[in-house]
Amino acid sequence: MMRRWAKEPMPICRRVPTENQAGDFSLEETLKFLETRISKGPLSLSSPSIIKSISDILHSCRKVKNSSYIIRIYQCMQETGLDSHQLLGNQLVPLLVDAGKVHNAQKVLDKLPSRSECAWTSIINGYIKHGDPQRALLMYGKMLKDAVQPTGYTYVSLLKACLKLKDVERGRHLHDDICRQGLEKDLFVGSALVDMFAKFDLLEKAQEVFDNLSVKDAMSWNAIISGYVRHGRCKEALDYYDLMQSEGITPNIVTFVCMLKACGNMENSQEGRELHAEVSRRGFDRDLTLGNTLIDMYGNCGLPMKAKDVFDKLPVRDVISWTSLISGYVKGGFGIEALHSFEQMKSHGFSPDVVTFVCSLKACGMTKSLDLGKDIHSDIMRDSKLLDKNPLVGNALVDMYAKCGVLEKAQEVFNKLSVRDATTWNSLIAGYCKQGLSEEALVCFDQMSNAGVPPDAVTLSCILKACGNLGVAEKARQVNEQVSNECLMKRDLVVCNGLIDMYAKCGLLVEAQRAFDVLPVQDLVSWNSLISGYAQVGESDYVFSTFRKMLNNKEMPNEATFGSILNACIHAGLVSKGQAYFHSMLEDFKISPSVELHTCIINLLGRAGQLDKAIAFTKRMPAHPTLVVWNTVLGACRKWSSIEFGRQAFEHAIGIEERDAAAYVCMYNLYADAHMLEQAKSIEVMGYMNQALDPSSKVCWSEVG
């Protein structure tokens, strides 16, 4: 109940600061005077002059934006009952919201006999700002029941509430309300609608609202452009950027941030450079947000050194700047540089965030920097909740230890994680596969299935490889069934190629061919997997026929293709055909053969007993013959009991590596087979003298022979 006193003292309005006196000191004096008068009693609060004075104080508080003043005036009004005064209460609500006192603002609002649109909108906005969008929407319902007409500003706040709640239906209902009030073409409201629909993955609806706007400014253009970027339709975003400029709308910093993200997503460095030049011309290049986006764009385009140039020119840097730089280095394969930047970041006093930790752990895995990875792990463990709150960090730790080959530690971290998704399991499974522990990978896969975590393309690719390595046909068929159940046969070419490769390695060429035939599209890997499979089981005719089909399908072969073809020729003893394919590789397909492919021809000639041609071919190699090459020749010499060519190959082999045991053993057996026991003994002694052979191992020469 409002208290009333009989006698009115000097009007408070004399103490209220004028337009030119709205400083803290004048307002402080006024508040002190009001507080003193209230404490002394009789003050007639029904007087229009008193109401006017309080109203002026509230107006001054809004201009000064001092929370402590607002709380004090609220306490005075609460004590005198003026917080329920219609004019003053409606003024007070927005002030309390601005001061962060939403609960008190709600109390005032509830007391008012009549509530203004400004008061309702303020309380709605306050709840959204302080993390209670559900209550904000509840207030909207009460506002409508109160017969108060919402404004565009009210709807913009409510659309934000729907976004925070991810409530598409409420957003649609608000759109209907907006249309009923004729606000859909309002620039401010329309831009918010475009933004909301785009973020709800309703890009066509966002486009419809955008097209219906009678006037468009930079904000509305930015909303539709960012929507296209968010949905990965970056080419269309670039088209809208061009259209925006053609309509005379000047792009701002937000526009450039969206466009640079689009260029980064498309890895379009040319367009990105042009935008960078435009940013510099407009003087925006010193803006921190824009600078960070430039660093990220160049990193995504595989230009980490250009990203570093932008980074170095930034007048101010934050955690995002450093993290974008580190991320760019990691994406470009510059692990050492990424870790160096991580150390620099910490030395400059910046604390890494989740993304920084994840990128740095990736760099440790790339470079096998186990010690630094352990240090980062220790940093992470200082925040006991970090792993539980951010599964990405736990996944990165498991992946780092797995890539560093420390699978026991990877398993230990994995076991302690409270949340394990497909990525977590994949890191562990891939680690086992990479270390050749295919059985452990399959056990892990079974555990993943038992835990109810559905596999993704990465999981199945790893498991297919493990099955192929083990040659377990039954497990291979089970995985095939799972691939089919996951509908990946039509969606993921990597998985399908893995399936072909797995069947081929298991010797199940009928199944491999069937998996190949049902592919909607076959790429080079698909063809190579099938050709390699036929080569492994000695089906040379199928190798050659599949190769012809590959060429007829306009798929160009690579070195791996010819490696399989030459291996098929080796196993079938087709010397002339192998030489013809080798020549075709050089002349028709302009492929420069590696040492491995040269070794295939040497092996082919050697197995056929054409040792003179094998040695001549070896000496004509463009690259210096390796130890493997000469040992291949030496092995052929032993097969054909060629002492002369064997000696040449042996001398070349130990000239490259005098401690290579294989060369000594092979030459020893070559002499022994020819009953040249004295020479064989001299090779044995030489092997011991050059420390190629270990006397304690007691090599069984006869077994080798």
DSSP class per residue in 489-554: TTT-HHHHHHHHHHHHHTT-HHHHHHHHHT-SS--HHHHHHHHHHHHHTT-HHHHHHHHHHHHHTT
pLDDT band for 193, please (50, 70, 90 cuts). Answer: very high
The angle formed by the CA atoms of residues 359, 362 and 366, to the nearest 5 degrees, is: 140
Q: What is the mean pLDDT of the chain?
A: 88
| pLDDT tens digits, one per residue of 314-335 | 999 999 999 999 999 999 999 9
- Global pTM value: 0.73
Interacting residues of 418 by C-beta distance below 8 A, sequence separation 6+: 387, 388
d(CA 10, CA 8): 7
Residue 214: is its pLDDT beyond 90? Answer: no
Q: Considering only CA atoms, which of 460, 459, 476, 477 is closest in space to residue 468?
A: 476
| pLDDT tens digits, one per residue of 366-412 | 999 999 999 999 999 998 788 878 899 999 999 999 999 999 999 99
d(CA 270, CA 488): 35
Q: Considering only CA atoms, which of 285, 233, 286, 220 is closest in space to residue 262?
A: 233
Q: How confident is the model at residue 44, as a pLDDT? A: 52
Lowest mean pLDDT across 63-77, 181-195, 201-215, 409-423: 63-77
d(CA 55, CA 143): 24
Domain ranges of the chain: 1-112, 618-705
Q: How confident is the model at residue 484, as a pLDDT? A: 67
Q: How confident is the model at residue 696, as a pLDDT? A: 63
Return the CA Rg of the chain: 38
Q: Considering only CA atoms, which of 92, 3, 24 is closest in space to residue 54?
A: 92
Q: How confident is the model at residue 1, as a pLDDT? A: 39
CA 350 to chain centre: 22
| pLDDT tens digits, one per residue of 634-670 | 999 999 999 999 999 999 999 999 999 999 999 999 9
- Judged by DSSP in three states, 680 sits in helix
Q: How confident is the model at residue 33, as a pLDDT? A: 66
Residue 77: is its pLDDT beyond 90? Answer: no
| pLDDT tens digits, one per residue of 621-642 | 998 899 999 999 999 999 999 9
Amino acid identity of residue 108, one-letter, is: V
Q: Which one-letter DSSP state was computed for residue 251?
A: P
pLDDT band for 692, please (50, 70, 90 cuts). Answer: confident
301, 263 contact by CB (below 8 A): yes
Which alpha helices (DSSP H) does 48-167 contain, by range? 48-64, 67-80, 86-98, 102-111, 117-129, 133-145, 152-165
Q: What is the dihedral of CA 608, 613, 614, 617, to 10 degrees?
A: -140
Q: How confident is the model at residue 499, as a pLDDT? A: 87
| pLDDT tens digits, one per residue of 268-291 | 999 999 999 999 999 998 899 999
Report the 10 Å Cβ neighbour count for 567. Answer: 21
The CATH class, in words, for 618-705 is mainly alpha
Interacting residues of 272 by C-beta distance below 8 A, sequence separation 6+: 260, 263, 264, 297, 298, 301
d(CA 254, CA 213): 20
**Helix/strand/coil percent split, the chain, to 5:** 75, 0, 25
d(CA 606, CA 613): 8
Token code pair at residue 316 = 């101010």
Range 322-350 burial, b when 16+ CB lie within 10 A, else e: bbbbbbbbbbbebbebbbebbeebeeeeb
571, 535 contact by CB (below 8 A): yes
pLDDT band for 507, please (50, 70, 90 cuts). Answer: confident
CA distance to 89, 109, 117, 233, 248, per residue, from 114 (Å): 9, 9, 10, 49, 46
Residue 41: is its pLDDT beyond 80? Answer: no
Q: How confident is the model at residue 569, as a pLDDT? A: 97
Token code pair at residue 118 = 């400004």
Report the 10 Å Cβ neighbour count for 17. Answer: 21
pLDDT band for 495, please (50, 70, 90 cuts). Answer: confident
| pLDDT tens digits, one per residue of 555-601 | 999 999 999 999 999 999 999 999 999 999 999 999 999 999 999 99
Residue 239 phi/psi, 5° resolution?
Answer: -65, -40
pLDDT band for 342, please (50, 70, 90 cuts). Answer: very high
Q: What's the average model confidence in pLDDT over 327-346?
A: 96
Q: What's the average model confidence in pLDDT over 443-447?
A: 94
CA distance to 360, 374, 409, 675, 700, per residue, from 365 (Å): 9, 11, 13, 54, 42
Residue 487: is its pLDDT beyond 60? Answer: no
DSSP class per residue in 303-367: -HHHHHHHHHH-SS--HHHHHHHHHHHHHTT-HHHHHHHHHHHHHTTPPP-HHHHHHHHHHHHHH
Share of the chain above pLDDT 90, in %: 70
Greatest distance between any 2 Cα atoms in the chain: 135
Residue 252: is its pLDDT beyond 80? Answer: yes
